[in-house]
Amino acid sequence: MAEFLFAAAAIVLVLTGLALVRMLWGPSPADRMMAAQLLGTGGGAIAILVAIASGMTAVLDIALTLALLAAFAAVALTLGEPGSKRRGGGE
Amino acid sequence: MSLVVDLFMVLLILTSAVWTVLARDRRDAVIAFIVLGLQLSLVWMRLMAVDVALTEAAVGGGATGLVLLRACARLQPVEAEGRLPGLRAQIAAGLLCAGVGVALAAVILAPAAPAPSLAPAVAAHMDEVGLKNPVTVVLLAYRALDTLLEKVVLVLGLIGVWALAPDLFWGGRPASLRAASPSGTLTFLARVLPPVGVLIGVYLVWNGADHPGGTFQGGTVLAAMWLLVMMAGLGELPETRALRLRRLVAVGPALFIAVGLAGFWMADGFLSYPPEYAKPIIVAVEVALALSIAVILGLMVAGPAAKEPER
């Protein structure tokens, strides 16, 4: 069973690795950010698979943190939208 | 099989790292850096360093990205009129960075044999402190002075950020974090995520005594949730002169220093704990530190005051 889960984790890693193509290609920052999002989700999946396969429950916490903060990083992208008048100062 | 997977991970990381350096647009570079942080946390997981992986996921994947993206947004108007540094400066900076990288690689790839390690000594005395997470034992018991200074540096950093405010605005609110075009999705996320996130943040802090986790990871998650609420416009940033806010900033380091001084008559000296109370003291310090870290990180991202204080 553990072998199977590790293999599944490896396959998820390869698939999320393909997201890098989107990060390099773009063309817009939002497209590139999607690569980071997929990596956050995929990383969470890998962590869960590894946690169950290896019996290290602490690894589940990594999945929690990744899932939580990858979504947060995407929100951060809205801060610097080109054309926004609020950029950096005042209302 | 595992070698192939490892090599693939190395390839992914090298790609992101090289792209971080080569990307023409500053925001593209920051996004690549976030991707690099997420990949590094997977590598730390692969190396079974769960504490480091957690920190990398929280700080590298979330907090650093936000700080850098905000810096990009601030730099945009400056960048438009400024010029890139000359070719000579670029080459010099590249050579310097490459030199540092090669030197670090040389040190890491050629360690003294056997590598010096205090791990067995820590493992032998774990029971005296009463915690089960060796990382927390080292951070808060054996190397408590380093940890204390690290937290004090955070406070100094915040003072440095605040000092950038013009005299007129001193004590006022920082510039609004609200997104340029608040959307329904963002508001929804800011309502759904923080309850879960605050729970996970508290859990990471509480868990840190016996399992991987701790003040910095938990504090970062708490700060991220606070900032999310601000960015969706559901909450207002506090005035930097607010006394309650400043107390929260100081409570962690202050309690740490107080506990350290109490060590003079309760135990052997500065920052030493009486063995029978070591665990409750460390957990109390951790909770106070996590609060301070969360508030300090949030305020650092918010930046210096940019509005006149209200009368």
Q: Could B12 and A17 be called an inter-chain contact, meaning their C-beta atoms sit closer than 8 Å?
A: yes
**What pLDDT does residue A81 have?**
54
Chain A residues whose beta carbon lies within 8 Å of the beta carbon of residue B176 = 86, 90-91
The total number of structural domains in chain A stands at 1
Q: Is residue B94 part of a domain?
A: no
**What pLDDT does residue A82 have?**
46
Q: Is residue A88 part of a domain?
A: no
Nearest CA to B159 out of B301, B306, B296 is that of: B296
Q: Is residue A38 part of a domain?
A: yes
Q: Is residue A86 part of a domain?
A: no
Chain B residues whose beta carbon lies within 8 Å of the beta carbon of residue A76 = 65-66, 69-70, 231
Read off the pLDDT band of A87 (50, 70, 90): very low
Task: Say whether both B71 and B173 belong to one domain.
Answer: no
Task: Say whether both B255 and B130 belong to one domain.
Answer: yes
What are the φ/ψ torsions at residue B305 (nearest 5 degrees)? -60, 140
The yes-or-no verdict on residue B95 having pLDDT over 90 is: yes
The DSSP bridge partners found for residue B186 are: none
Residue B311 Cα, gap to closest chain A Cα (Å): 18
pLDDT digits (tens, 9 = 90+) for B21-59: 888 788 888 888 888 988 899 999 888 888 888 888 888
The yes-or-no verdict on residue A34 having pLDDT over 60 is: yes
Radius of gyration of chain B (CA): 22
Domain that holds residue A49: 2-77
The yes-or-no verdict on residue A91 having pLDDT over 50 is: no
Task: Say whether both B128 and B4 belong to one domain.
Answer: no
Domain that holds residue B20: 1-82
The total number of structural domains in chain B stands at 2
**What pLDDT does residue B87 have?**
84
Task: Say whether both B146 and B22 belong to one domain.
Answer: no
Q: Is residue B108 part of a domain?
A: no
The yes-or-no verdict on residue B302 having pLDDT over 80 is: yes
Nearest CA in chain B to A28: B28
Closest Cβ opposite residue B35 in set A23, A46, A86: A23
pTM above 0.90, yes or no: no
Amino acid (1-letter code) at residue B41: S
The yes-or-no verdict on residue B119 having pLDDT over 60 is: yes
Residue partners of B198: CB distance under 8 A and separation at least 6: B222, B225
Residue partners of B147: CB distance under 8 A and separation at least 6: B139, B140, B256
**What pLDDT does residue B90 have?**
84
Q: Is residue A13 part of a domain?
A: yes
DSSP B12-54: HHHHHHHHHHH-SSHHHHHHHHHHHHHHHHHHHHHTT-HHHHH
Query: Mutation test of the interface with chain A: which of B46, B69, B173, B186, choosing the one with the most A Cβ atoms within 10 A?
Result: B69
Closest Cβ opposite residue A78 in set B41, B42, B179: B179
**What pLDDT does residue B26 have?**
81
Nearest CA to A9 out of B46, B61, B15 is that of: B46
Q: Look at A45-54, B173-182, B236-245 and tell me which has the smallest mean pLDDT.
A: B173-182
Q: Examine residue B274 and say whether the peptide bond preceding it is cis (omega within 30 degrees of 0).
A: no
**What pLDDT does residue A85 have?**
41
The yes-or-no verdict on residue A89 having pLDDT over 50 is: no
What are the φ/ψ torsions at residue B111 (nearest 5 degrees)? -80, 160
Q: Is residue B177 part of a domain?
A: yes
**What pLDDT does residue B155 have?**
92
Task: Say whether both B132 and B198 belong to one domain.
Answer: yes
Task: Say whether both B149 and B193 belong to one domain.
Answer: yes
Which of B52-66, B120-134, B172-186, B245-259 is predicted most confidently? B245-259
Task: Say whether both B55 and B122 belong to one domain.
Answer: no
User: What contacts 24+ positions apart, CB below 8 Å, involve B240-245?
Assistant: B240/B162, B240/B165, B240/B170, B240/B171, B240/B172, B240/B173, B240/B174, B240/B299, B240/B304, B240/B305, B241/B170, B241/B171, B241/B172, B241/B309, B245/B295, B245/B299
Domain boundary among B35, B56, B82: B82
The yes-or-no verdict on residue A56 having pLDDT over 90 is: no
Q: Is residue B243 part of a domain?
A: yes
**What pLDDT does residue B206 have?**
87
CA dihedral in degrees (B239, B60, A44, B35; nearest 10)?
A: 120
CA B258 to chain CA centroid, Å, is: 24
Q: Look at B88-97, B219-228, B235-244 and tell me which has the smallest mean pLDDT.
A: B235-244
With 0-12 CB in 10 A as exposed, 13-18 as middle and 19+ as buried, what is A73? Answer: buried
**What ipTM goes with this model?**
0.85
Task: Say whether both B233 and B304 belong to one domain.
Answer: yes
DSSP B163-189: TTS-GGGTTSPBPP---SS--HHHHHH
Q: Is residue A9 part of a domain?
A: yes
Read off the pLDDT band of A45 (50, 70, 90): very high
